[in-house]
Amino acid sequence: MAAIIPENAHAGLPEQALPRWRRAVLKVGSNLLAADGGGLTLRYADALAGFIAASQADGRQVVLVSSGAVAAGRALLRQHAADGSGLAARQALAALGQAPMIALWQSLSARPVAQVLLTHDDLRNRRRYLNARATLRELLTLDVLPVVNENDTVAVDELKLGDNDNLAAIVAALVDADLLLIASDVDALYSADPRRDPAATPIGHVAALTPQILAMAGGSGSAGGTGGMRTKLEAATKAAAAGIPTALFSGRDAATVQALQHGRLHGTLIAAASSRMQARKYWLRHAPAAPGRIRVDAGAASALAGGRVSLLPGGVLGVDGEFHRGDLVEIVDADGRPVARGLSQYGAAEVRRLAGRHSREIDGVLGYSYGAEVVHRDDLVTVGEHVIPGKETTA
Ligand SMILES: Nc1ncnc2c1ncn2[C@@H]1O[C@H](COP(=O)(O)OP(=O)(O)O)[C@@H](O)[C@H]1O
Ligand SMILES: N[C@@H](CCC(=O)OP(=O)(O)O)C(=O)O
């Protein structure tokens, strides 16, 4: 089991190459934003914002998942930590502190900042998942900085667990990120919680999140943070399954944050379980499909087989059976032979009405549009005898 490359405790944590990335999700914990145990401070956010700006200037895209609303709300009321520890109180504090938290990031960003509040429930619901994804994609296209936080007012279970780490991993898969960056107050995963065990040693590279590695993680060591290393490793597990590596590092160390801009990581790198393409392809190929299927004409069938194209309404001949927007559906040719599988942007009734139409007619036919594609190429995998070897369509 080669899960760990052991570090020499005295040599500390060596720098390593950060995987190449074009789109990343950066998660910033409360401990960094409310670093002095009080309200929000620019102390560490400044360097992190500098990293985001430099990445954007390089043509990369960053989605920020930021905690800190509860800490900011608490400071606004000058409440003692103990006063605001009940769930409703924490929800009220989050509502109070959310605007100042967004304002903090806006004060540090030359580009506009967009507030995105999500719950895990939103992301479990197919329709809302697709809508959240479309909104985030659009925000990135508009070159703004999306700042995601949990919608704490309604996220009952999640706020208890305080789990923006897991949310960040889900968002990373949602936006098809290449990398999940988790900035915290600790510089690495240690063999045990370093606050409790002074002999704990840092781990630079995790090749696989084995039970042995997961057992190293403890809860939060401070009043400000909530999930501790446990939720960070849960997040890394989710990201790894989606084919996304995770980098854990200290957001308190300006040199560490600056080195990220140059593709160097001083922290823990947790490898992905497979490539993003493989993870997504595997899922699209093997997940149970909805009972309905979309029949396409010969032109669409061969275009899909040729690779990297979306299914547009013009190529649709008809629909058999039923499915909802966001369902995984089979795409077959006129003779019913399998061509591809993918996530449908429209429900069966809508696709029936759009069959054979041009994408620009969607609005006129339905009175609304979820986009020009019936199945977007990122959500599609080629199957069956139409596949041209080496030219499979994948995300
Ligand atoms: N094995 C471990 N390695 C590193 N840190 C750990 C470990 N187990 C528990 N921790 C704790 O996790 C904390 C970071 O998580 P948390 O307090 O939730 O911060 P954040 O607000 O950044 O999410 C560290 O300060 C540390 O005390
Ligand atoms: N949504 C909450 C934070 C929840 C959370 O996961 O906190 P943390 O462990 O500091 O990342 C807030 O904005 O205060």
CATH of the domain at 58: 3.40.1160.10
Residue whose entry in the numeric block shows the structure tokens 């084919």: 243
Span 68-94, pLDDT tens digits: 999 999 888 875 555 556 778 888 999
Is 152 annotated in a binding site? The answer is yes
Domain boundary among 204, 238, 273: 273
Give buried/exposed letters for 355-392 (b at 16+ CB in 10 A, else e): bebebeebeeeeeebbeebbbbbbbbbbbbebbeeeeb
What's the pLDDT score for residue 308? 85
Q: With a 6 A CB cut-off, is 162 part of the ligand 2 pocket?
A: yes
Residue 337 CA: distances (Å) to CA of 244, 294, 331, 332, 388: 33, 11, 9, 5, 15
- Look at residue 340 and give its three-state secondary structure: strand
- pLDDT at res. 386: 59
Task: From the CA of 216, give the closest atom in ligand 1.
Answer: 1
Q: How far is the CA of 385 from the centre of ligand 2 (A)?
A: 49
Mark whether 100 and 134 lie in a shared domain: yes
Cα 219 off chain centre by? 22
Structural domain contains residue 6? no
Q: Is the CB of 29 under 6 A from ligand 2?
A: yes
73 and 175 fall within a common domain: yes
Q: Which ligand is nearest to the CA of 35?
A: 1
Asked whether residue 1 carries a pLDDT value surpassing 60, the answer given is no
Q: In what order do the strands lie in the sheet with 61-66?
A: 113-118, 145-150, 61-66, 23-28, 179-184, 246-250, 267-270, 205-206
Alpha carbon distance 237, 245 (integer Å)? 9
Domain that holds residue 346: 280-386
* Judgement on whether residues 307 and 371 belong to the same structural domain of the protein: yes
ipTM: 0.96
Nearest to 29 by CA among 53, 64, 78: 64
With respect to residue 9, please indicate whether it lies within any of the assigned structural domains. no
Amino acid at 291: P
Residues 247 and 354 in one domain: no
Q: Confirm whether 63 is domain-assigned.
A: yes
Mean pLDDT of all residues in 157-180: 82
Residue 23 CA to ligand 1 centre (angstroms): 25
Is residue 85 domain-shared with residue 171, that is, in the same domain?
Answer: yes
Contact between residue 296 and residue 332 where contact means Cβ atoms under 8 Å apart: yes
* Structural domain includes residue 133: yes
Residues with CB under 6 A from ligand 1: 29-31, 67, 184-186, 189-190, 192-195, 216-218, 220-222, 224-229
- Same structural domain for residues 363 and 228? no
Report the pLDDT value the prediction gives residue 334, as an integer from 0 to 100. 96
Question: Based on the domain organization, do 151 and 20 belong to the same domain?
Answer: yes
Same domain, residue pair 22 and 159: yes
Q: Whose atoms come closest to the Cα of 229: which ligand?
A: 1
Check the annotation: does 185 bind a ligand.
yes
Asked, for residue 348, whether it belongs to a domain, the answer is yes
238 is in an annotated binding site: no
Mutate to test the pocket of ligand 2, among 153, 160, 226 (most ligand atoms within 8 A of CB): 226
Query: Is 391 among the domain residues?
Result: no
Is residue 57 domain-resident? yes
Using the 3D structure, point to which of 258, 273, 288 is the last residue of a domain: 273
pLDDT value at 3 more than 90: no
Say whether both 111 and 48 belong to one domain. yes
Tell whether the model's pLDDT for residue 223 goes beyond 60. Answer: no
Is 230 among the annotated ligand-binding positions? yes
What is the per-residue pLDDT across 267-311, written as a single tens digit (0 to 9) for each? 999 999 988 778 888 888 888 888 899 999 999 999 999 888 999
Provide the number of structural domains found in the chain: 2
To the question of whether residue 333 is assigned a binding role by annotation, the answer is: no
Question: What is the Cα–Cα distance from 225 to 263, expressed in whole angstroms?
Answer: 27
Q: Are residues 28 and 134 located together in one domain of the fold?
A: yes
User: What CATH number has the domain bearing residue 296?
Assistant: 2.30.130.10
Which residue among 65, 220, 246 has the greatest number of ligand 1 atoms within 8 angstroms of its CB, and so is best to mutate?
Answer: 220
Does ligand 2 come within 6 angstroms of the Cβ of 149? yes
67 lies in some domain: yes
- Alpha-carbon distance of 210 to 334, in angstroms, equals 47
pTM: 0.81
Note the pLDDT tens digit of each residue in 327-376.
999 999 999 999 999 999 999 999 999 999 999 999 999 999 999 999 99
Residue 267: what pLDDT? 98
Q: Is 245 in the pocket of ligand 2 (CB under 6 A)?
A: no
